[in-house]
Amino acid sequence: VTPLIDSKRLWASIIETAEFGALSQGGLRRLSLSPEDGLVRDWLRTKCEALGCTVRIDEVGNMFALWRGGTSALDPIAIGSHMDTQPTGGKFDGVLGVLGGLEVLRTLAAENYRTRHPLMLINWTNEEGSRFSPAMLGSGAHAGIFDRDVVYETRDNDGLRFRDALDSINYLGNEKLGSVKFRAMFELHIEQGPLLETAHRDIGVVLGVQGVRWFDVKLRGQEAHSGSTPLQHRRDALCAAARLVTAVRAIAESSREGVGTVGSLKVIPNSRNVIPGEVLLTIDLRNASEIGLDQMQSRLLVQLDQLRIEGFEPEISEAWRNPALRFDSDCIAAVRHGAVQAGLETKDLVSGAGHDAAYVARVAPTAMIFIPCKDGLSHNQAESATFEQCANGVQVLLNSVISYDSGAFAVCYPA
């Protein structure tokens, strides 16, 4: 039988590690490669070594704790997430995935449960991207998306280099980037959205990650006096921007699986009695499929063409993109089975947020498990998940790993 996790031990580890970077309102400030990040990494290493794990550190500080529970001829099945947080983040985002993985190892160790594959717990470096940009730097570097030396030269707001920060907490490892291999990876995470809570489901089976396209847009109007300039003589850049904001929402509404957001908008000169002469804004389009994203982008360009005809000289540039991703069907099947086995209600989801699993999926079979979080909130001290929700997630994580280990869902599995 599949062992049951110790949910009190899990919760105790969440509370204990939340001391590293604790904020007054229950949240955490544990920026990547900060002294607090160093402390929680040391804690994790100690706990893993106590289980008999070998902990290896790669060149960007990713931590790989190998638990030789299985046959060393096979690559390990990995469980991974991150332990860094936003500047005023919560106790669960990322942390749950790593501590959940630790709980899986502890449970299997306590029960002397033998898996076929070795298991591996991974703590990815700098997932949040709020100190060193971009986000998911460690998993991206592992997957070959980011070059090591470029990562090393990345600087935080104080001008400190990534490499020096990594060195200062003693996590500049010597394992070559990408050299640590694993058979598959499972990541448990809070949803960071309201769908599970609203639908009263326990577990999100994550089918993939939305594709993202980020744009910077500039609209030009004509600065003029707000009193003496008749309406028909105005070229008000903010009126044009307002129509674009409304259009982005409409484009998202008319797409099947898309969302769209203008999160940042700057008015120039931004004076009460001056007609806005220029507006800079950002557009964030997301969709579960690349075709959906293409359609949204086409509709956006039509809107900009209309503004061009009206003289607003729109300029658009792509700031970043990340393609839509589908997780591995075997891994997804293992998660679905793991949830059923735990007697929990599931809902299929596509993740709207980026995750380490999205980069890892480029080099290994991967899937994710979501649990609900209160009001869908994250990146916020008020971020919250209950004792029971966390326990449910970790049990499904364990079940998924065991299922995958058994090969029951491995369509192309070399048994």
CB of 185 to a copy of itself, least distance (A): 20
Residue 397 makes CB contacts below 8 A (sequence gap 6+) with 79, 100, 101, 104, 186, 188, 338, 369
Stretch that binds a copy of itself, among 38-46, 97-105, 117-125, 350-358 (CB under 8 A): 350-358
Match 């964030």 to its residue by tokens: 284
Q: Nearer to a copy of itself by C-beta: 51 or 265?
A: 265
Neighbouring-strand partners of residue 212: 286, 322
- Which of 211, 207, 193, 192 minimizes the C-alpha distance to 286? 211
Give the sign of the dihedral formed by CA 330, CA 334, CA 335, CA 337. positive
Q: SS3 for 114?
A: coil
* The token pair that represents 162 in the structure block: 């990534």
Out of 17, 32, 154, 192, the only residue in the binding site for a copy of itself (CB under 8 A) is 192
Out of 210, 289, 295, 392, the only residue in the binding site for a copy of itself (CB under 8 A) is 210
* The token pair that represents 398 in the structure block: 């364990």
Burial of 204 (0-12, 13-18, 19+ CB in 10 A): buried
Q: Nearer to a copy of itself by C-beta: 46 or 198?
A: 198
Distance CA 57, CA 30 (A): 19
Distance CA 72, CA 10 (A): 28
Is 238 near a copy of itself (CB under 8 A)? yes
Stretch that binds a copy of itself, among 64-72, 248-256, 310-318, 338-346 (CB under 8 A): 248-256
Q: Nearer to a copy of itself by C-beta: 112 or 200?
A: 200
Q: SS3 for 310?
A: coil
Are 62 and 125 in contact by the 8 Å Cβ rule? The answer is: yes
Q: Nearer to a copy of itself by C-beta: 161 or 243?
A: 243
Q: Nearer to a copy of itself by C-beta: 259 or 402?
A: 259
CB of 227 to a copy of itself, least distance (A): 3
Are 203 and 197 in contact by the 8 Å Cβ rule? The answer is: no
CB of 83 to a copy of itself, least distance (A): 20
Q: Nearer to a copy of itself by C-beta: 190 or 332?
A: 190
Count of residues interacting with a copy of itself (CB under 8 A)? 58
Distance CA 118, CA 15 (A): 28
Neighbouring-strand partners of residue 186: 79, 367
Q: Nearer to a copy of itself by C-beta: 100 or 277?
A: 277
Distance CA 377, CA 94 (A): 14
Q: How does DSSP classify residue 250?
A: H
Q: What is the x/- site pattern for a copy of itself, positions 363-402, by CB under 8 A?
A: -------------xxxxx----------------------
Is 317 near a copy of itself (CB under 8 A)? no
Q: Nearer to a copy of itself by C-beta: 69 or 276?
A: 276
Q: SS3 for 212?
A: strand
Q: How does DSSP classify residue 88?
A: T
CB of 161 to a copy of itself, least distance (A): 24
Out of 58, 84, 187, 191, the only residue in the binding site for a copy of itself (CB under 8 A) is 191
Is 200 near a copy of itself (CB under 8 A)? no
Q: Nearer to a copy of itself by C-beta: 112 or 228?
A: 228
Is 23 near a copy of itself (CB under 8 A)? no
Q: What is the x/- site pattern for a copy of itself, positions 251-290, by CB under 8 A?
A: -xx-----x-xxxxxxx--xxxxxxx-----x-x-x----
- Which of 306, 348, 303, 380 minimizes the C-alpha distance to 128? 380
**Pairing between strand 119-124 and 77-82?**
parallel
Out of 354, 365, 372, 393, the only residue in the binding site for a copy of itself (CB under 8 A) is 354
Within 13 Å of residue 263, how many CA atoms lie on the same side as its CB?
A: 9
Stretch that binds a copy of itself, among 58-66, 94-102, 187-195, 325-333 (CB under 8 A): 187-195
Contact positions vs a copy of itself (CB under 8 A): 191-195, 198, 210, 212, 214, 223-231, 233, 236, 238-239, 241-243, 245-246, 249, 252-253, 259, 261-267, 270-276, 282, 284, 286, 319, 351-354, 376-380
